[in-house]
Structures are given as C-alpha cells and as structure tokens.
Amino acid sequence: MRQTINRGLAAYEPNTLGNGEPAQATAAEGGFVSHAERIDAVKVRARSESFFDHFSQAAMFYHSQSPVEQMHLINALRFELGKVATPAVRERMVYMLSQVDGGLADKVAIGLGLHVPKKIVGPLNQSIPADGNPKDFQPKPFTGKPFISPALSMANTIKNTVQTRKIAALVADGCDDGELASMTKALVNAGAQPKIVAPHGGSITSVGGKAVPVDFSLLTVASVLFDAVYLPGGEASIAALSEELKAVEFVEEAYKHCKAIAATGAGVDFLKKTRAGASLPPGDSGRHSQLNNSNQPAGHCGDVSSALAQRTSTTT
C-alpha cells in the first residue's frame, strides 16, 4: 500500500499542474504487474470498451433537465470553475463539457469570459496504466440524440400537494395570534409542517400574551431549508423583524429561490421593505385569514397551499 504524500501543487495523478507527477511506475521500474496465471485462459488486468464512455450519462442527465434546471447547472459550473485559479485548468474543464454538450460548454464559457477550446494540450484522459498506450484509453465525445429520462428532473416530481412541505412562520414578540393560528391550522390540516422561526430561541410572546415555542432562531437556520415563508401581522413583531438584517435576508433569499411567500396584515408592510416586495401589486394591503363554517382554510390560506404545491412565489 502506497502511503507517501508527495509535496507540490498536486499530490495525485493524473494532473497537469505537476507535469503528471507523481506517476505510476512502469514494469521496468519495478511497478506493479498482474501475475499472468494459466487457468482456462490467461488472466489479464484490462478495461472494457464501455469504461471509456465518459459522457453519455452526463448528456442524458443534462438534457433531461427543464430549462430552469439547466440554467441552474450552468450557473453552478460557472461558480465552481470561477474559483479555479489556473486558467489552463478552467479551459480544460470547459473543453470537457463540450464533449457532453456544445451549448452547455458555450454558456459556461461565457460566464467565465472564455472561448471553448478546439483542442487541449495532452490527452483528455490522463488516467492511464503505467505501461498503457494513452491512445487506447481516450474517451469519445458524446454524439447523437441523448436519451431523456423524466425521472431525472425535479420539474416532473409530484405536485398539487402540500403534504410534508415545511413552512417557516417568521415572527417576533407581538405577532398576531389569530393570523398565526389560522394559517398553522390550515397548513397542518393539509399535511404540511409549519415551523416557528424567530430572532431568538426559546419562545416569543404574541400580542395576546400567549407564549409561542420557537423551532428555529435566525442564527441557526436559512430559508433555503423551507418550502415557503409566512409573515403574519402584529405591529410589534413587524417592527422587531424590520430591525433584523437576518430577517430581511431570510425573506429575500426565499424569494430568490422562488419559494412561496405569504404575508398578512402588517406582514405585508415588512414584505414591501424587501426585494420580494417589488413584485407586490400597487396598493396591495394584504388580506387576513378566515375559516369558513366547514373549517377549511379560505382566503390566503388556500392561496398559499396552492402556491406551495407548485413551489412558486406568491404574496396575498
């Protein structure tokens, strides 16, 4: 077992930053050689042809995504490769993406300020046995029409239900009891999981003097961990949240990720102070929740359930 940790920019192989070193030792140098043992045939160490199909599954995954998901992948690649300090490595990775899909490589390259290379220095696959011929171990670019698998796209997951979805009720001391209770009851009855998020842990005190247990403080959770955000009213609660930068960021990040957002009463005023509030119709003052005689949510409760089922962004 090799235990040496080589010094330098790259302690692994294959690499381009360290001229390919450390490299496997050849047989003549005393490197490992599989013992050829006579059985019914000769035992060899080899790789099947399918091993060199490096790109067809990546092409299937990319082409199976919805346009929004494809853009998310493109931005993720721009982000990761944008942190690579060596230009040659960025160019090499963009070239590799071109073997999956030319359009994908072009869009990633634009975000990096690069052109997709027509060729690269050295072989694409540098994971080659010590005594192997590099030409025998090179992958081929994906060509033809990719296989589409609907199961690979989140856009094709089950919708029109709020069951198991998590909703953050963003509150502080002085929140409106009626609005919070009405929304909580409606969501629980629909199978959702409302959670109380506040500036601090423990509990908060509603405008009616009721102690409301806090599930998460703003110091320990982010809105990306929820499917929706609800802002109940209560003048004191909204005043406190307005002074909390993390509360504003909580809502804006939810909006950025296209989460469903609901606000009632004074909660609409807080929402208008965020970037998400720019989508509110002029003069919208919000609506208060109600329960009809059949104990089914009406007004904004139903609106939130519908928006949450589709994972869209809405305000009521």
Domains by residue range for the chain, with CATH: 51-150 (1.20.1370.20), 158-310 (3.40.50.880)
pLDDT at 205 over 80: yes
Residue 83 burial class via C-beta count within 10 angstroms: exposed 0-12, middle 13-18, buried 19 and up: exposed
Provide CB contacts within 8 A for 87, sequence distance 6+: none
pLDDT of 297 above 80:
no
- Per-residue burial over 21-52, b = 16 or more CB atoms within 10 Å of its CB, e = otherwise: ebbbeeeeeeeeeeeeeeeeeeeeeeeeeeee
Torsions phi, psi for 205 (to 5 deg): -110, 120
Q: How confident is the model at residue 309 (pLDDT cuts 50, 70, 90)?
A: low
pLDDT at 129: 83
Confidence of residue 300 (pLDDT cuts 50, 70, 90): low
The answer, yes or no, to whether residue 287 has pLDDT greater than 50, is: no
Residues of the chain with pLDDT > 90: what percent?
Answer: 53
Q: Which residues contact 123 (CB under 8 A, 6 or more apart)?
A: 134, 135, 137, 138
| pLDDT(298) > 70 | no
Instruction: Summarize the confidence of residues 137-150 as an average pLDDT.
Output: 86
Question: How do residues 74-108 score in pLDDT, each as one tens digit?
Answer: 999 999 999 999 999 999 999 999 999 999 999 99
* pLDDT at res. 294: 29
pLDDT at 279 over 80: no
Query: Which of the two residues, 295 and 249, has the higher pLDDT score?
Result: 249
- pLDDT value at residue 11: 80
CA dist 55 and 75 (Å) reads 20
Least confident of 40-54, 217-231, 273-287, 302-316: 302-316
Q: Is the pLDDT confidence value at 285 over 60?
A: no
pLDDT of 13 over the 70 cut: yes
Looking at residue 1, its pLDDT comes to 59
pLDDT tens, position by position, 169-199: 999 999 999 999 999 999 999 999 999 999 9
**Span 125-147, mean pLDDT?**
85
Least confident of 78-92, 139-153, 196-210: 139-153
Distances (CA, A) of 194 to 136, 220, 292: 57, 17, 21
> DSSP for 84-135?
-S-HHHHHHHHHHHHTT-HHHHHHHHHHHT----S--SS-S-----TT--GG
Where does the pLDDT of residue 209 fall: very low under 50, low under 70, confident under 90, or very high at 90 and above? very high
Mean pLDDT over all residues of the chain?
Answer: 85
Distances (CA, A) of 183 to 180, 191, 267, 297: 5, 12, 13, 8
State the Cα–Cα distance between residues 218 and 168, nearest whole angstrom: 11
Contact 105, 91 (CB under 8 A): no
Average pLDDT of 109-131?
90
Backbone angles phi, psi at 187, to 5 degrees: -70, -40
The total of other beta-carbon atoms located within 10 Å of residue 55's CB is: 21
Measured CA to CA in angstroms, residue 305 lies from 16, 166, 215, 259, 300 at distances of: 53, 11, 21, 12, 9
Tell me the average pLDDT across 218-236.
94
Rg of the chain on CA atoms, in Å:
28
How big, in percent rounded to 5, are the helix, strand and coil portions of the chain? 40, 10, 50
Q: For residue 307, what pLDDT is reported?
A: 65
More confident position, 207 or 159: 207
Q: Does 295 score more than 60 pLDDT?
A: no
Mean pLDDT of 288-301: 37
Letter for the amino acid at 230?
Y
What is the pLDDT confidence band of residue 311, given thresholds at 50, 70 and 90?
low
Report the alpha-carbon distance of residue 142 to residue 147 in Å, rounded: 11
